[in-house]
Amino acid sequence: MQQGCVNFVFMGIKRKTKSVTTVLNIFEASHDAKSVVSLITLVKNEMNKTTVYRILDRLEQDGLIHSFNGKDGLKWYAKCNGCTSHKHFDTHPHFQCTKCDKVECLTVDISIPNIKNHNIETADILLMGQCEACCS
Ligand SMILES: [Zn+2]
Ligand SMILES: [Zn+2]
Ligand SMILES: [Zn+2]
């Protein structure tokens, strides 16, 4: 038996509240990205908009989720893979289906060009077309 073990430390989140768990579970359940609008709708019976924004910010700072811009400048969030509270490694491109609006993280490498006298830190690449389900 380990005495004095802190069970609630989850990355930088000291106390994992019920609301945080609810939002995290949405990302754990599927690899698809979620727009801020759809997240707010999904949890509207449990928390208000401000809480959702605050939780998303916190989870992003903790390296659990990352955000990017989709079609029409809408903000999307998706689960991170191997990111930490110190650094995100999310230079992968994203894909948005023009038929069903599904958004996915793509696990392909994109070569970022070296630009003279410029330092590239992040890449926001959105590819659009039809997803697997819409193609068949
Ligand atoms: Zn990340
Ligand atoms: Zn589709
Ligand atoms: Zn992604």
Q: Which ligand is nearest to the CA of 62?
A: 1
CA–centroid distance, 15 to ligand 3, in Å, is: 26
Closest ligand to Cα 100: 2
Torsion of CA 6, 63, 108, 117, to 10 degrees: -140
Surrounding residues of ion ligand 3, Cβ less than 5 A: 78, 105
pLDDT digits (tens, 9 = 90+) for 18-71: 999 999 999 998 878 999 999 999 999 999 999 999 999 999 999 999 999 999
**Cβ distance 80 to 88 under 8 Å?**
yes
CA of 90 to the centre of ligand 3 (A): 6
Domains of the chain: 18-135 (1.10.10.10)
User: Distance from the CA of 136 to the center of ligand 3, in angstroms?
Assistant: 24
Q: What is the secondary structure of 25-55 as a DSSP string?
A: HHHHH-SS-EEHHHHHHHTTTT--HHHHHHH
pLDDT single digits (tens) 82-135: 889 888 888 889 999 999 999 999 988 788 888 999 887 677 899 999 999 999
Cβ–Cβ under 8 Å, residues 28 and 98: no
pTM of the complete model: 0.80
